[in-house]
Structure 1
Amino acid sequence: MTTLLGGLDIGGTKCAAVLGRASEDGIEIVAKRSFPTPASPQEALEALGAVLAELADEHHAPGLQAIGISCGGPLDSGAGLILSPPNLPGWDRIDVVTPFKERFGVPVGLQNDANACALAEWKWGAGRGSRNMIFLTFGTGMGAGLILDGRLYAGTNDMAGEVGHMRLEQDGPEGYGKSGSFEGFCSGGGIAKLARSRALEWLAEGKSTLLCSKTGEVDGITAKLVGEAARAGDELALDVMGNVGRQLGRGLAVLVDVLNPERIVIGSIYARQQALLDPGMLAELQAEALSLSLKACRIVPAGLGETVGDAASLSVAQYALARE
Structure 2
Amino acid sequence: MSLLAGIDIGGTKCAVSLGKEGMGGIDIIAKQRFATPPSPELALARIEEALRQLLGELAGTYEEEGHKSGPALAGIGISCGGPLDSRRGIILSPPNLPGWDGIEVVDYFSRRFQVPAGLQNDANACAVAEWKWGAGRGLENVIFLTFGTGMGSGLVLNGRLYSGTNDMAGEVGHMRIEDEGPVGYGKAGSFEGFCSGGGIARLARAKAIEAHARGERPAYCPQASDLAGVTAERVGLSARQGDPLAVEVFRLVGSKLGKGLSLLIDVLNPQLIVIGSIYARQQALLDETLFEVLKAETLPYSLNVCRIVPAALGEQIGDYASLSVAAYQLEQLREG
Q: Give the TM-score normalised by structure 2.
A: 0.94
Match of 2:158 in 1: 149
Q: Which amino acid aligns with 2:201?
A: A
Which residue is equivalent to 1:236?
Answer: 245
Contact 1:115 1:145 in 2 (8 A): yes
Aligned to 1:115: 124
The DSSP-based 3-state class of the residue aligned with 1:21 is strand
Instruction: State the SS of the aligned residue for 2:166.
Output: coil
In the alignment, residue 11 of structure 1 is paired with which amino acid? G
Task: Tell me which residue corresponds to 2:67.
Answer: none
Q: Which residue in 2 is equivalent to 1:286?
A: 295
Query: 1-side partners of 2:97 and 2:224: how far apart?
Result: 31
Equivalent-residue separation in structure 1 for 2:176 and 2:155 (angstroms):
20
Give the partner amino acid of 1:172: G
What is the match of residue 23 of structure 2?
24
The residue correspondences of 1:205-244 to structure 2 (distance < 5 A) are: 205-213=214-222, 217-244=226-253
Q: Letter of the aligned partner of 1:67 in structure 2?
A: I
Which residue in the other structure is 2:191 paired with?
A: 182
Aligned to 2:109: 100
Cα drift, residue 213 of structure 1? 3.3
**What SS does the aligned partner of 2:221 have?**
helix
- Structure 2 counterpart of 1:8: 7
Work out the CA distance in 2 between the residues paired with 1:246 and 1:323: 39
What is aligned with 1:131?
Answer: 140
Task: Count how many residue pairs are aligned between Structure 1 and Structure 2.
Answer: 323
Residue in structure 2 matched with residue 201 of structure 1 by the alignment:
210
C-alpha separation in 2, matches of 1:220 and 1:74: 31
Separation (CA, whole Å) in 1 of partners of 2:29 and 2:200: 35
- How far apart, in 2, do the equivalents of 1:70 and 1:46 lie? 17
Residue deviations 1:39-95, cap 9 Å, x none? 111111111111011011112255011000000000000000001111011111110
Find the aligned partners of 1:12 and 1:215 in 2 and give their Cα distance.
32
The aligned counterpart of 1:53 is: 52
What is the Cα deviation at residue 216 of structure 1?
5.7
Residue of structure 1 in register with 2:330 after alignment: 321
Percent identity of equivalent pairs = 63
Distance 1:264 1:141 in 2: 17
Q: Is the alpha carbon distance of 1:152 and 1:98 closer, same or farther for their aligned partners in structure 2, counting shifts above 3 Å?
A: same
Superposed CA RMSD in Å reads 1.1
**d(CA) in 2 for partners of 1:104, 1:321:** 15
1:267 aligns with 2:266: no
The answer (yes or no) to whether the contact 1:56–1:62 under 8 Å persists in 2 is no
State yes or no: 1:247 paired with 2:256.
yes
What's the CA shift for 1:25? 1.1
Counterpart position of 2:65: none
- Structure 1 unaligned residues grouped into runs of 5+: none
CA distance in 2, matches of 1:216, 1:237: 18
> 1:322 Cα shift?
1.2
- Residue 208 of structure 1 aligns to which amino acid in structure 2? R
| 2:184 equivalent to 1:171 | no
Distance in 1, Cα, partners of 2:225 & 2:281 = 25
1:18 and 1:127 map into 2 onto residues whose CA distance is 22
1:215–1:221: 8 Å Cα contact kept in structure 2?
A: no
CA distance in 2, matches of 1:121, 1:25: 14
Aligned residue identity for 2:133: W
Q: CA deviation at 1:24?
A: 1.7
Offset at 1:212?
A: 1.2
TM-score relative to the length of structure 1: 0.98
Does residue 1:162 correspond to 2:171, yes or no? Answer: yes
Cα distance in 2 for partners of 1:8, 1:214 equals 43
Q: How many Å separate the matches in 2 of 1:122 and 1:244?
A: 26
Say whether residues 1:70 and 2:79 are aligned partners: yes
